[in-house]
Amino acid sequence: MTTHRTYKKLEIVGTSPTSIEDAIQSAITETAVSVSNLDWFEVTETRGHIVNNKVAHYQVTIKIGFRIENS
């Protein structure tokens, strides 16, 4: 028996003054508050803000895939 699944993707931007990883985790954590069945993510863009020649802030755009459940 083959299991068929259907997914939907959301584009989310996470930010962090600490790291790219924290920006990704922030986006996933906040999305999980209102969306169920998160399964995967894909980083599509990474940016940062520079202050006094140092990285001051990370901004990461990700696509989060989640399963659509049939009732």
pLDDT for 25 equals 98
pLDDT for 4 equals 80
Tens digit of each residue's pLDDT, the chain (71 residues): 567 888 999 999 999 999 999 999 999 999 999 999 999 999 999 999 999 999 999 999 999 999 998 64
Phi and psi of 30, rounded to 5°? -65, -40
pLDDT for 2 equals 64
Superfamily for 7-67? Flavin-binding protein dodecin (3.30.1660.10)
Contacts of 55 (CB under 8 A, 6+ apart): 48, 49
Nearest to 6 by CA among 60, 53, 71, 66: 66
The tokens describing 71, both together, are 């009732």
Domain residue ranges in the chain: 7-67
Helix, strand, or coil (residue 61): strand
